[in-house]
Copies of this chain bind each other. A is one copy, B any other.
Amino acid sequence: VQKYIVRKLGEDWIFLVLLGLTMALVSWSMDYASAKSLQVYKWMYGELKGNVLLQYLAWITYPMVLIMFASLFCHLVAPQSIGVYWPQCLWLPSPLSFTTPPLLLAPAASPLLVCSGIPELKTILRGVVLKEYLTLKAFLAKVVGLTAGLGSGMPVGKEGPFVHIASICAAVLSKIMSIFCGVYENPYGYTDILTVGCAVGVGCCFGTPLGGVLFSIEVTSTYFAVRNYWRGYFAATFSAFIFRVLSVWNKDAVTITALFRTNFRMEFPFDLQELPAFAVIGISCGFLGAFFVYMNRQVVMVMRRQNALTRFLTQHRLIYPGAVTLIIATFTFPPGFGQFMAGELMPRECINSLFDNFTWTKIWGAPPPAGLGRSSAWLHPRVSVFVILLLFFVMKFWMSAISTTMPIPSGAFMPVFILGAAFGRLVGEIMATLFPNGILFDGIVYRILPGGYAVIGAAALTGAVTHTVSTAVICFELTGQISHILPMMVAVILANMVAQGLQPSLYDSIIQVKK
C-alpha cells in the first residue's frame, strides 16, 4: 500500500500543494477582508459616541446592508437560482434519499449555495449528484457572501461554507490539471478529491490541520481510506502553514501560533476533584446541543409551511435576512440591552475573552487589572457576571439557531463554539465562586481556571451538535494548549453520548429536512 501511495504521490502532490496554497490564500483574504469590515463597523460606532440614536442607526444599518448584500449577491451570481424563492434553499424538493440511486437534480432546484456546505458534501460523498453545486460561480458567490456575512458581526460561521469552497476548489483544480498536463489523471476519483477538499477546508479555516482532517472524516464518511488521511494531512498542513505564514507576513501575529491562543498555567491545570464539574459540562452540553439541533429544525419547518407570511417573505426575499439582522443587532446594541450580554464583542473577540486567564467573579467590582483587554465587556458595573453570561448564552442561543437559517452562506460551527465557551465559562465561574481559594489536594492548591472550563464547554457543545469527537482536537489546535486533554475528551464523549441519543447531528438534521 505504502509503495502504491508513493508512486501515485508523484503525480498527486502538485495537486495537493496547489489546493493547499489556493485555500490558504482564499481563507486569509476572507479573514483579512472581514476583519477590516468589522474594524470599519466599530470605528463608525465609536465615532458617533454621544449621539445614541445615530449610534443605533449605524449599529443596525451596517450589518443589515452587508447581510442583504450577501443575500442578493448569492442570488444574482448563481443564475440557476433565479426564480427559486429562498425558502426552497433550505431543503431540496427532490426525493434525496440514500436508498435511491444517484439523482441528477434539476438546475431550478439547486440554489444550495446559500446553505452550509457540509450536509451537501455529505450527500455528494454518498453518491448523490448535485448538479451545478461545484461550479466557479458558486465559488464566487460563496466567497463574497461569506466574507460579507463574517464582516457583519452576525453570529454566522465560516466553517461550513468554507468546506464547500474548498470542495469546489478541489474539483475545479483537478479539472484544470487534467487539461494542462495530460499526464495528470486523478488516481483515485471524485470522492477522494472531495474528501481532501473537505479536510483542507476545515483545516485552513482556523489553521487546525489535524483536527480538520479528523473532523472531515467523522462528518462525511462511514468507511474511510487511510490513504486519504495521509493526503488530507499533507494538504491541510501545507495549507494551515501558508495561512499562518500569511498572518505573520501581515504582522497580525508575531510568529506562527494558534488562532485563539490560551495561556493557562501548565504546572497544575486542574485537579481530579474538578472532574465532576467537567462531566456536568459534558452532559449538559449534550442536552443543549440536541436542543439546538431541534430548535434549528423547528425554525426551518415554520418557514417552510405555506401561509400568508411565508408567501410574502418569498416574494420579497431580502426582508427575512434584513428582519433577522435588525432584531439581532437591536438586541446586541451596546448602550441598550447589549450591555447585559457583552453585545459589543464580535465573535472572535468573544472567544478570546472567554478563554482568558482571569476569574471574572473575582475582579468584578474591583478596578480592572492590566491586560484585561476586551474582557472588560463582560464586567457590568451593576449586574453580576453570572447574569451577563447567562443572558449572553440564552440570547445567543436563539440568535445562532435563527441566523444560520438566513439565505446567506453561514455555518453553525463557530456560533455553537461560542455558545459552548460561554456555557463552560459560566460553570467555571460558578466553580470559582464555590471554591474561592481553589481546591486543596495533597498540599497543592489548585486554583479554578474558568478559561479552561470555557475551552471544554466549547469542545463539548460543538461535539454534541455535530456528533463528532474530533472537536477536541480542533480545540487543542485553536488554543495551542493540550493541558486539558483528558477532561476535554471525557466531556466530549459524554456530550456525544447524550446528544446522539436524542437528536441527529445538525448536518443529518438538515439533510432530513431537505428530503
Contacts and interface: CB of A to CB of B under 8 A. Distances in A.
A218 B222 contact: no
Contact of A255 (B222, B255, B272, B473): B272
A49 B439 CA distance: 45
Nearest to A240: B486
B254 A272 contact: no
A501 B6 contact: yes
A266 B255 contact: no
Interface string A377-418: 000000000000000000000000000000000000000000
B254 A2 contact: no
A281 B72 CA distance: 51
Given A223-B225, A486-B240, A255 B230 contact: no
A164 interface: no
Contacts of A441: 255
A469 B248 contact: no
Given A210-B489, A233-B493, A266-B261, A223 B226 contact: yes
Contacts of A376: none
B493 A482 contact: no
Contact of A226 (B221, B251, B257, B490): B221
A212 to B, nearest CB: 12
Given A2-B504, A486-B237, A493-B237, A469 B230 contact: yes
A266 B480 CA distance: 9
Given A233-B469, A241-B486, A266 B263 contact: yes
Interface in A442-489: 442, 444, 446, 467, 469, 472-473, 476-477, 480-483, 485-486, 489
A505 interface: yes
Contacts of A337: none
A268 interface: yes
Interface in A216-252: 217-218, 221-227, 229-230, 233-234, 237, 240-241, 244-245, 248, 251
Contacts of A31: none
A34 interface: no
A271 interface: yes
Contacts of A370: none
Contacts of A269: 255, 257
Contact of A477 (B248, B485, B508): B485
Interface of A: 1-3, 5-6, 9, 209-210, 214, 217-218, 221-227, 229-230, 233-234, 237, 240-241, 244-245, 248, 251, 254-258, 261, 263, 266, 268-272, 441-442, 444, 446, 467, 469, 472-473, 476-477, 480-483, 485-486, 489-490, 493, 497, 500-501, 504-505, 508
Given A230-B469, A237-B490, A255-B446, 5 more contacts: A210-B489, A224-B225, A224-B229, A248-B272, A255-B268
17 contacts: A2-B467, A3-B504, A209-B485, A210-B472, A210-B485, A210-B489, A222-B225, A222-B227, A237-B493, A245-B272, A255-B269, A255-B270, A255-B444, A256-B270, A263-B266, A480-B483, A480-B485
